[in-house]
Structure formats: C-alpha cells, structure tokens
C-alpha cells in the first residue's frame, strides 16, 4: 500500500515497508518513495531481510520430508536422520557435542560409487573412483549444512575421511564415526568386511554425517535384516587373510597392507630414509616403484593397496543380479582377476597374514615390514 503526500513542494507516492523491530519487539514501519522501493537492489535487500527474520525463528522441529529433499538436491543418493540420543550412538554423543555444542540430530548421507571402476585391477582407476566419490559426499554434506544454516539452524559437516584430528593420534582421530551413524540411521548393516552394506547400493558407497542443533519430525530405525548374502567372497578376495569366515577380523593385517601408504606405512618409509647409510642403501631397501607409489600418494591422495573385499561384494539390490544369474561367471570376471594380479603384499614378520599370503598366493611377492606401528629401538652408545 502507498499514500499520496507532499514534501517540500514535491508530490509523490510512498510505499510502506516493514523495516526493523523496536526494543519491544514490535515491527517498526517506515516508508520509502515508490520509485526507490521498486528498485531491484532495494527489493533484494528487503527480501533478504524478510528471509533473515523468518530464519531467526525456524521451526523447532525440522520436517523430515523437507530434510530428505534437501539432502537429495545436495547430491546424496540416500539419507536418513537419527537422534543423538539413540542408544546405539551412546559412544558418539560426547564427541558430537564437543564438535558442535547443542547437537541433537545426526544426518547420515550415502553417495554411491561406480562399481566397475572400483573393481578394476588397475589401482589408479579404483583409487580415483574412491576419491571422486569422497569429494562428492563431502560436497553434499557441505551443501546440506549450508541449507540448514540458511533455514536458521546450526549445522556442522565433518570430513568424510581426511583431514582428521591428527593431534590425537594414535587415539581416536575422527570427529564422528560415519559407519556407526549410518547403521543406526538404517542406511545399512556392517558386513564381515567391516564395510556398511546399503540395501540397494551394497557396499559401493561412501558415507558422511551432518550434525544439526534441532530434532527431526521422523527418525529412521536400523534395518531389521542384513543385506549380506553370506557368500564369503570378501574372505576369498583379501590377499592377506584379514577377514575370517566366522566374521573375525585381523586389524593389523588389513592396515599393514591395504593402508601401506597412509600414516603407519609412511612413518616406516620415513624411518627407512632416516636410517639408511646412503642413497644406495636406501634404494636397496625400497624399490623404485615403491618410492614412486609413495610419492604419488603424497602428491595426490593416498592409494589403497587392495580394497578387494569391497570390490567383490555382490550384496545390494542394484548389485546382486549378475551374481544370482551366473555365480561362476561372476567369480571369473570379478574375483579371479584380483586374485591373479601380480602385486607385492606387505605383512608383519611372523604374522598370520604372512603365512596366509605365502600359502594362498605364491605368485604374489610377500615383503616383511614393521608397519610403522612401533617406534624403532634407540641405538645404544657405541652401536654402529
């Protein structure tokens, strides 16, 4: 609405505009000349103020349908919310509140990977796919946090993988356990390969979590079944025998080989540099290809040495078809190329992994390493 007025012999229309609130909280109405009020920049500023006023008092409870739509628009392939008070998240509560005081809900996100790329025997292809999906899930989490902030909520998106809180190493370095949250939110069940298996996408997924300071109108519940089909292909695929048929898991076997170019393996590589008598001694201990691979992991992103347990898993509605149609062909095209691959396997001396690798994969060179798990024994005075 406007009104006709006269001011200093100038006649024009003025537009009524709600501008701010006084100390009592009541809106204070001001007027702008109609020509100024119609200017695009003025309208943009006023619209932003209206949005900010609305966002300053968001609904106390986030609508679950709105939240899911926000997640899918941001790039997630699936998403679900779970209360921070869920009993399965008791171990996460203190860490979540430390990261963002006032956290009340955890939003779990799934981004799927391209299966054939991750199944490739060319580790550069598989690792590239992994890192691209990692970028996607991090971007989705950031966009969701931004959307929640725009709606008036406080939200936080920890990294899906790295960076992590390295000042806490070797203790807990992650801000939130994405797998634990995803299982509590009903986005999958932990398989014996220690990967979350999504009911549709299987374990060809990466996860992220967004923390928000409000409740959600409808929380998800954990799945009442496991998508795992108990095929044990992950057991057969692991080159260092880290996964047992009954579900037991050899942490050090997995970390020593698959994560060779992450923290512990890098530590050992650096110790080898430091302890070598000269360049010739160093290169006698570390091959040219090992140095080139470590350089690539440092210059680009860390490379996983296997990850075969994930690559061969047929679980998930979108993944299971070829395995059901012809299991022999599935194993010939998915499992055996990884088993036949010529590659060095890294093991701790005298470990079960060493015995398993030498017995099960005689065509794969086996190399003893310290894994960087223990500091070297200090040299005594007089030692050469």
pLDDT at 381: 61
pLDDT at 21: 45
pLDDT at 54: 66
pLDDT at 383: 57
pLDDT at 98: 97
pLDDT at 57: 80
CATH number of 61-216: 3.40.109
pLDDT at 384: 52
Quick: pLDDT tens for 185-240. Answer: 999 999 999 999 999 999 999 999 999 999 999 999 999 999 999 999 999 999 99
E strand intervals along the chain: 2-7, 10-21, 27-33, 61-62, 78-83, 105-112, 155-156, 189-190, 196-197, 205-212, 215-216, 345-347, 366-368
> What is the DSSP annotation of 239-302?
TT--B-TTS-B-HHHHHHHHTTTSHHHHHHHHHHHHH-SSHHHHHHHS-HHHHHHHHHHHHS-P
Domain segments of the chain as ranges: 61-216, 233-368
* Sequential pLDDT tens for the chain (384 residues): 444 444 444 444 444 444 444 444 444 556 788 888 889 898 888 888 877 776 668 899 999 999 999 999 999 999 999 999 999 999 999 999 999 999 999 999 999 999 999 999 999 999 999 999 999 999 999 999 999 999 999 999 999 999 999 999 889 999 999 999 999 999 999 999 999 999 999 999 999 999 999 999 999 999 999 999 999 999 999 999 999 999 899 999 999 999 999 988 999 999 999 999 999 999 999 999 999 999 999 999 999 999 999 999 999 999 999 999 999 999 999 999 999 999 999 999 999 999 999 999 999 999 999 877 766 666 666 555
CA–CA gap between residue 197 and residue 371 (Å, rounded): 29
What residue spans of 114-240 are helical by DSSP H? 115-119, 123-150, 178-184, 233-237
- The answer to whether 109 and 143 have CB atoms below 8 angstroms apart is no
pTM for this structure?
0.82
Which DSSP helix (H) or strand (E) runs through 158?
Answer: none
- The answer to whether 216 and 86 have CB atoms below 8 angstroms apart is no
Half-sphere exposure of 247 (CA within 13 A, CB side): 6
CA–CA gap between residue 50 and residue 124 (Å, rounded): 50
Residue 353 tokens read as 């992994």
Q: Quick one: which of 160, 147, 152 has its CA closest to 108? A: 160
């Amino acid at each position: 609405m406007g009104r006709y007025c006269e001011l200093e012999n100038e006649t024009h229309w003025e537009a009524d505009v709600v501008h701010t609130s006084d100390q009592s909280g009541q809106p204070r109405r001001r007027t702008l000349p109609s020509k100024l009020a119609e200017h695009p920049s003025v309208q943009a500023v006023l619209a932003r103020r209206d949005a900010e006023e609305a966002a300053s008092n968001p609904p106390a409870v986030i609508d679950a349908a709105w939240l899911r739509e926000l997640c899918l628009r941001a790039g997630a392939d699936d998403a679900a919310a779970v209360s921070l008070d869920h009993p399965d998240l008791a171990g996460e509560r203190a860490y979540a509140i430390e990261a963002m005081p006032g956290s009340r809900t955890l939003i779990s996100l799934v981004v799927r990977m391209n299966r054939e790329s991750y199944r490739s025997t060319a580790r550069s292809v598989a690792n590239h796919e992994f890192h691209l999906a990692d970028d996607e899930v991090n971007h989705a989490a950031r966009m969701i946090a931004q959307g929640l902030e725009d709606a008036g909520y406080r939200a936080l998106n920890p990294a899906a993988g790295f960076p992590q809180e390295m000042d806490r190493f070797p203790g807990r370095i992650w801000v939130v356990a994405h797998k634990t949250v995803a299982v509590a939110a009903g986005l999958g069940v932990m398989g014996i390969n220690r990967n979350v298996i999504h009911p549709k996408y299987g374990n060809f997924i990466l996860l992220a979590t967004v923390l928000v300071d409000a409740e959600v109108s409808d929380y998800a519940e954990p799945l009442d079944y496991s998508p795992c089909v108990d095929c044990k292909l992950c057991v057969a695929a692991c080159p260092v025998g880290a996964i047992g048929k009954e579900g037991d898991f050899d942490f050090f076997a997995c970390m020593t080989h698959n994560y060779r170019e992450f923290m512990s393996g890098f530590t050992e590589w650096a110790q080898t540099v430091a302890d070598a008598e000269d360049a010739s001694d160093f290169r006698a201990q570390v091959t040219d290809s090992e140095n080139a691979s470590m350089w690539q992991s440092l210059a680009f992103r860390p490379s996983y040495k296997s990850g075969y347990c994930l690559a061969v898993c047929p679980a998930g509605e979108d993944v299971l078809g070829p395995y059901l149609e012809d299991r022999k062909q599935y194993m010939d095209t998915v499992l055996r190329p990884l088993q036949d691959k010529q590659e060095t396997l890294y093991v701790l001396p005298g470990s079960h992994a060493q015995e398993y690798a030498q017995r099960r994969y005689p065509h794969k060179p086996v190399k003893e390493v310290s894994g960087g798990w223990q500091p070297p024994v200090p040299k005594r005075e007089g030692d050469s």
